[in-house]
Amino acid sequence: MTLLQVQDLVVEFPTRRGTLRALDRISFEIAPGEILGVVGESGAGKSLTGAAIIGLLEPPGRIASGQVVLEGERIDDLPPAHLRHIRGRKIGAIFQDPLTSLNPLYTIGRQLVETIQAHLPVDNAEARRRAVSLLEDTGIPAAAERIDHFPHQFSGGMRQRVVIALALAAEPRLIVADEPTTALDVSIQAQIIQLLKRLCRDRGAAVMLITHDMGVIAETCDRVAVMYAGRIAEIGPVHEVIHQPAHPYTLGLMASIPDMEGERERLNQIDGAMPRLNAIPPGCAYHPRCPRAFGRCDRQRPELLHAGATQAACWLHDANAELAA
């Protein structure tokens, strides 16, 4: 069963000097209760993918082609008013900085109650009861008292818990979490990770977790999609992608992570940099930085190919690679 299906998603930004393609035929699925991690360097298109799914692309950004299907209903072409209802009722969002998600002029309780009543047919008393229950579920101590406090009266970790409570207020089926632990210290980060996993298990919600931290991916996710230059380079079960990476880019990312056993004297570095949107190379976008590139790589773009337990957009996994080289 599939909860979210993204098919050949293309996001473009028209400019005076031409159209920039920021996402280039992105496809993946998320099942109910599953946590899919999306990882890659800055500029890979991770947050943009989440924004496109939620319907929060900043103009002039637009979905040029492809589909976003949630529970069998296409949502990328819906009118803004209808999409706003789905965004609160069926899709919740958690952003990196909780202060940008909370209104400093309103109490936490007012923001939660208004969100609940906007999507669920409940009165003020029931909405407040649900708000207190959400704060308790997300680990806010003395929730019945803290509900009347303002955002500035909470610590960074507590504010992030409040944002998670807001994202869960209408009992959504999908949560898009964009770097939800980056601004937190390590101990609070671990608590938020455990909270997300528990919410998926208890509520059956699916999570799209966007991060640059492979450690968070390893601890939290069921599957992971590795993005590069607006494309998916590799996707598969977390354990397989981490321990047996099939794409040279994924291999480079894993080699750049410090070894806890301290066996390596020097970390690996991927030469070069992520290409600009107006200078995406032909063929495989990674080939100018790839140590295993061959003739075909700069001419033809590889689609996702089966590579053991994962899929990788790399000609090394094409049965006819040598013939085509």
pLDDT on residue 324: 45
pLDDT on residue 284: 95
Amino acid identity at 252: G
Distance CA 222, CA 195 (A): 15
Distance CA 29, CA 40 (A): 18
> Left, alpha or beta for 193 (phi > 0: left; psi -120 to 50: alpha)?
alpha
pLDDT on residue 50: 94
Q: Which residues contact 134 (CB under 8 A, 6 or more apart)?
A: 112, 165, 168, 169
pLDDT on residue 265: 67
Question: Is 212 exposed, middle or buried (CB count within 10 Å of its CB: 0-12, 13-18, 19+)?
Answer: middle
pLDDT on residue 323: 43
Pair 166, 115: CB distance under 8 Å: yes
Convert the pLDDT of each residue in 232-261 to its tens digit. 999 999 999 999 999 999 998 888 777 666
Distance CA 195, CA 220 (A): 10
Amino acid identity at 166: L
Regions of the chain short of the pLDDT cut 50: 322-325
Q: At what angle do helices 80-89 and 108-119 cross, to 10 degrees?
A: 120
Distance CA 46, CA 48 (A): 5
* b/e burial code for range 284-315 (CB count within 10 A of at least 16 → b): bbbbebbeebeebbeeebbebbebeebbbbbb
pLDDT on residue 259: 67
The Cβ-side half-sphere exposure at 88, using a 13 Å CA radius, reads 16
Residue in 250, 245, 208 with CA at minimum distance from that of residue 226:
250
Convert the pLDDT of each residue in 193-211 to its tens digit. 888 888 777 878 899 999 8
pLDDT on residue 270: 84
pLDDT on residue 248: 94
Distance CA 182, CA 99 (A): 14
- Which pairing describes strands 4-15 and 62-70: parallel, antiparallel, or unpaired? antiparallel
pLDDT on residue 126: 95
